[in-house]
Amino acid sequence: MVILLGSIADDYTGASDLANTLTKNGLRTVQTVGIPDPSLALPDVDAVVVSLKIRSVPASDAVTAAASAERWLRQRGAGHVLYKICSTFDSTDAGNIGPVTEALSEAAGGGGVLVTPAFPETGRTVYLGHLFVGGQPLNESPLKDHPLNPMHDANLVRVLTRQSRNVVGLIDLTTIAAGPGAVKARLDSFRTAGITAVIADAIFERDLETLGEVALETPVSTGASGLGLGLARALVRSGRISSGGATTADAIRPVGGLSAIVAGSCSKATLRQLDIAERSMPVLRLDPEQLLAGPDEIAAAISWAGDRISAGPVVIAASAAPETVSRLQSLYGREASGHAIETATSIITAELVERGVRRLVVAGGETSGAAVDRLAIPAFLIGPEIAPGVPVLRTVGNAQGDMLLALKSGNFGGEDFFAAALAMMH
Ligand code: ADP
């Protein structure tokens, strides 16, 4: 298998989002969880997204992990590697977008790297280097209060300069509107001046198509799913797609087995989806304090599911309303309670799979990451979209046999998401 487009994603749900975008734009795509074991047989695909968890780790760890993933992708033919970051440029002055971008560029022999988090579909646009989230500049958006990466500056040239060794350039919208030739000339002039990272404006998808075309001829780019869209469309236009394009039908071949939903997201959308699910499926609401107190609540949940699951899908949820969540957080701390509940929901998920669940929906970004890690699923083939940004995933090389999953982060999906997801999994 020769990989046409490689990507290294800095978190798991971001990786799924990108893999979904690549698939929708014509590339047969697989998402791996970490760097695959050499024994893993991957299907024939155009694009591989290696999911890492390096968004909020020390920069030197992020650089080391990304460099290994880059070597793995290059050894399998990837001519271009996209470093997939969040469309809100989540990072701090310590990194990790700058250090990883510079390291990937160096590993590829240097040169200019186009950097843009623009993703118009979700309202992320960049103008004169400033990132807008919907109608607000980044520093006035809710991202200013992000618990790990608070964003206080919308000027990405400044933001990236603070986390880079090198000067950072800007290619503005006027140049991008002039087309790929003008962008390439500008990028070349930055490279001659010894500049590595270059922030690129983009407001419309056509801007990302221009950037994708130029980026594809360079070894490395850094961006969100929007740049992925540009790269995928450029690849399809180039006629280099050998897989015949993305067909998602084989990703949803029936797997049989039992089905279950596990929720750890406390977002408004998930809470509503749980209320709606309650009308048609048995729903167990876990007691978060009991979950933290010891293993009994987990054992009780598994026994509850065992009594019902052969009759149809069951739902197990740690999710709670904001008052309950903040009470638990004030008692045990925000990180400690979140982490303990993720561990509990991942154990429950693994036990359900042990008992024959093969069709699984997990609600919550961190909750999904913990579940996928505990299940030790090596990779996913991307299937059709259930709701915007959430595809059906088919496991690749899974020890328990083929499974179909939907991993839903926070606010994604309509109110009947759970039933809609299960209706696509057989
Ligand atoms: P989202 O995608 O909505 O952000 P995540 O799974 O990423 O969902 O994050 C939700 C976090 O809340 C997880 O760390 C989860 O363990 C934690 N959590 C789940 N239920 C509760 C609860 N009842 N009280 C406190 N924290 C909870």
Kindly report the CATH number assigned to the domain that includes residue 377: 3.40.980.20
At residue 248, the pLDDT reads 80
| Residue 246 within a domain | no
- Residues 260, 230 share a domain: no
For 52-184, list the strands marked E by DSSP. 80-84, 113-116, 124-127, 130-133, 136-137, 169-171
CB of 225 closer than 6 A to ligand 1? no
Vertex 55 angle, CA 291 and 60, to 5° = 115
By most ligand atoms within 8 Å of CB, the mutation choice from 88, 143, 266 for ligand 1 is: 266
345 CA: nearest ligand 1 atom: 16
CA of 62 to the centre of ligand 1 (A): 24
- Residues 130, 61 share a domain: yes
- Residues 214, 333 share a domain: no
CA of 99 to the centre of ligand 1 (A): 30
Q: Tokens standing for 203? A: 């407001």
- Residues 402, 344 share a domain: yes
- Residues 226, 296 share a domain: no
Identify whether the C-beta of residue 5 lies closer than 8 Å to the C-beta of residue 231.
yes
| Residue 247 within a domain | no
The model's pLDDT over 307-324, given as tens digits with 9 standing for 90+, comes to 999 999 999 999 999 889
Nearest CA to ligand 1 atom 19: 264
The closest of 90, 78, 79, 77 to 14, measured between CA atoms, is 90
CB of 410 closer than 6 A to ligand 1? yes
At residue 245, the pLDDT reads 55
At residue 242, the pLDDT reads 65
b or e along 152-164 (b: 16 or more beta carbons within 10 Å of the residue's beta carbon)? ebbbbbebbbebb
Identify whether the C-beta of residue 129 lies closer than 8 Å to the C-beta of residue 156.
yes
- Residues 222, 309 share a domain: no
Query: Can you spell out the DSSP letters for 317-385?
Result: E----HHHHHHHHHHH-HHHHHHHHHHHHHHHHHHHHHTTEEEEEEESHHHHHHHHHHHT--EEEEEEE
411 CA: nearest ligand 1 atom: 3
Residue 312: CB atoms within 10 Å: 12
- Residues 264, 203 share a domain: no
- Domain extent, residue 216, equals 5-238
Nearest CA to ligand 1 atom 4: 410
- Residues 351, 211 share a domain: no
- Residues 299, 225 share a domain: no
CATH number, domain containing residue 192: 3.40.50.10840
Q: How far apart are CA 272 and CA 258, in angstroms?
A: 24
How many domains, the chain?
Answer: 2
Look at residues 208, 238, 268 and tell me which one is the last residue of a structural domain: 238
Would the CA dihedral through 123, 12, 141, 231 be positive or negative? Answer: negative
- Residues 412, 329 share a domain: yes
| Residue 244 within a domain | no
- Residues 414, 310 share a domain: yes
β 379-387/390-396 pair status: antiparallel
Identify whether the C-beta of residue 29 lies closer than 8 Å to the C-beta of residue 45.
yes
At residue 222, the pLDDT reads 98
Ranges of the chain with pLDDT below 50: none
At residue 391, the pLDDT reads 93
By most ligand atoms within 8 Å of CB, the mutation choice from 271, 298, 366 for ligand 1 is: 366
Identify whether the C-beta of residue 394 lies closer than 8 Å to the C-beta of residue 404.
yes
